[in-house]
Structure 1
Amino acid sequence: MRRELFSCFCGLLWSSSVWATDPLGTININLHGNVVDFSCTVNTADVDKTVDLGRWPTTQLLAAGDTTALVPFSLRLEGCPPGSVAILFTGTPASDVNLLALDDPAMAQTVAIELRKSDRSRLALGEASPTEEVDANGNVTLNFFANYRALASGVQPGVAKADAIFMINYN
């Protein structure tokens, strides 16, 4: 009896009615989407930030390397992923490529803008700032300073402004 059941079972396995040779049809499923980094947003008060470096007499910048007083500024980021962030500033470099060139050569002459870290040391263009920890709410404030720096003696008066772009590095 067992041998007959076994034979029947084997016959069913090999019969064409049990194993169809024709495909039932092809179904294509297109799956798509985007994978993006979890990114911070800039606090709305800091989106188009203007840092007023003040009004300085040329006597403050008599020789190459002379600087004006440091002016503090900060960038507040929100909705950041856990961890830490750093800022990297870019822009048009001056003849000293670590400094930010003024927007227009007809502006004040032989002057550039120097960016500084929160410890007041120079932050060169293209150099990442020290990292700051993101708080439990996803917020972080990064503090910086800026000042004018004479590139040579004979600084000429005029408007002295520049634009910097910053990128956020996540750690």
Structure 2
Amino acid sequence: MNMFIKGMVSAAVVMIFAPTVTLAADGKVTFNGEIITNTCTVISADKNKTVTLPTVQVSALSTANQTAGTTPFTIGLENCVNSDVSVYFEPNEYVSTEGRLKNSIPANPDPAGGAGNVDIELLNNNHGVINLANQTINPATGQVTGGNSTVVTPVNGSATLPFYARYFATDAAEAGKVSSYVNFTIVYP
């Protein structure tokens, strides 16, 4: 028993001199989130699409503002819910201030060089010009304003967004190759 009392006294002494911990509420962490329905996915064949415009004569683009070679193309979607869907064409260094795609191949008198004074213009499903420089996207809502893009409602989980591309003369065209690109994001207006 003597050992028991000595042990209790020792424990009591240790507890008296042990530091005490004080707890206080210094702040709060709040977590917010949202679970949404599935968004559309771009069909694999359209993720990195190449649209080939027809070969045209320079005479078809002999003065500023002439267009030629209108070519249809589509962006196919799957796994969609039945809410409207559209495309936001992301600005890049090849989008002109007028909203067209500039030729990425430098103009050159060599036939392998780029055509001079020729842009690529995108059109929506009603042949209205899509001004790539005028599109903006609201990061909070994902909605696109300006630009005049195509909007469709998916049917049975699928949608096809129709567009057109064509040559646009900024002045008298000079012979050569034309190439450009634009990335896109699926949005829900």
Shorter-chain TM range is 0.7 to 0.9
Q: 1:33/1:104 Cα in 2 relative to 1: closer, same or farther (>3 Å)?
A: farther
Identity of aligned residues (%): 30
Write the distance in 2 (CA, Å) between the matches of 1:167 and 1:158.
30
Map residues 20-39 of structure 1 onto 2, 5 A cutoff.
38-39=38-39
Measured on the aligned residues, the alpha-carbon RMSD in Å equals 2.2
CA drift at 1:58: 0.8
Partner of 2:121: 114
TM-score by length of 1: 0.73
Deviations 1:128-161 (A, max 9, x none): 51320011x32110101110000012x1111101
* CA contact 1:86–1:132 (8 Å) conserved in 2: yes
**Counterpart residue number, 2:106:** 105
Alignment partner of 1:152 out of 171, 175, 179: 171
Output the TM-score relative to the length of structure 2: 0.66
SS at 1:60 equivalent: helix
Residue type of the alignment partner of 1:62: S
What amino acid sits opposite 1:112 in the alignment?
D
Aligned residue for 2:102, secondary structure, equals coil
Determine which structure has the larger strand proportion and give its number.
2
Q: Report runs of 4+ in structure 1 exceeding 6 Å deviation.
A: none
Instruction: Give the equivalent residue in structure 1 for 2:8.
Output: none
Partner of 1:167: 185
- How many Å separate the matches in 2 of 1:50 and 1:130? 19
Count of residues paired in the alignment = 139
Q: Cα 1:65–1:128, aligned 2, differ >3 Å: closer, same or farther?
A: closer
Unpaired stretches in structure 1, ≥5 consecutive residues: 1-31
1-side partners of 2:47 and 2:150: how far apart?
21
1:11-160 alignment, distance < 5 Å: 38-90=38-90, 91=92, 92-94=94-96, 96-106=97-107, 107-125=114-132, 126=135, 127-135=147-155, 137-153=156-172, 155-160=173-178
